[in-house]
A and B are shown apart, each in its own frame.
Chain A
């Protein structure tokens, strides 16, 4: 199963863009990249996912490199409420389609 590597923690100034990187060098060609975030003592919240193309929704943008070995989640205008642990997940592409969470990045948005 493809493993993800993320920085342990990051800071971002309020109102600025937060760019969260993720390495997934062993990803297979048909495995999707998902991003979730978890605010303290709550269940994870879906942010975005993608396969090959860059994706954008109302929460964030996902940039996937051409070789698909890494991706970046972009929060365009970070707010204090974006302070959370962000998980980059490569969805297993077999029966069950499980998520295996890595260590995640603890993002702190600073006023």
Chain B
């Protein structure tokens, strides 16, 4: 149980185009989803926290107009990188929380990541 998927796993796009990444919780309802970005040989950096049906909360320094997050249902969140540029090339990882109770209620389940390359 507690599987999170991401689609696509790898995307290459031209500079200036927009790219949408999907994050799905396959076997549980995710009350909260998180989006992270990871550059090569670096740690994960939290970009935003997303609750179903409400606006995402962005971390300081993350442009909300560039990284659009939609969390329309308890099993799906999307991240759209608008007007992508080569510096946006990175590994984007989502996580979902929910479906567990008690001591594991805050555990996050991570997706496999999406590698974005902007040419």
Instruction: Give chain A's interface residues, CB within 8 Å of chain B.
Output: 32, 34, 36, 38, 41-46, 49, 87, 91, 96-104
B residues with a Cβ closer than 8 A to A are 4, 6, 32, 34, 36, 43-46, 49, 57, 91, 93, 95, 97, 103-104, 106-113, 115
* Nearest A-chain residue to B44, judged by Cβ: A101
* B32 → chain A closest CB, angstroms: 7
Contact between A98 and B49, CB atoms less than 8 A apart: yes
Q: List 16 A-B contacts (CB under 8 A).
A: A38-B44, A41-B113, A41-B115, A43-B4, A43-B93, A43-B113, A44-B44, A46-B107, A49-B103, A87-B44, A91-B106, A97-B106, A99-B95, A99-B108, A100-B46, A103-B43
Determine if B109 and A99 form an interchain contact, defined as CB atoms under 8 angstroms apart. no
What is the CA–CA distance of A45 and B6 in the complex, to the nearest angstrom? 15
11 extra A-B contacts, CB within 8 A, seeds A43-B4, A43-B6, A44-B44: A34-B107, A41-B113, A43-B112, A44-B110, A46-B108, A96-B57, A97-B97, A98-B46, A100-B46, A101-B43, A103-B43
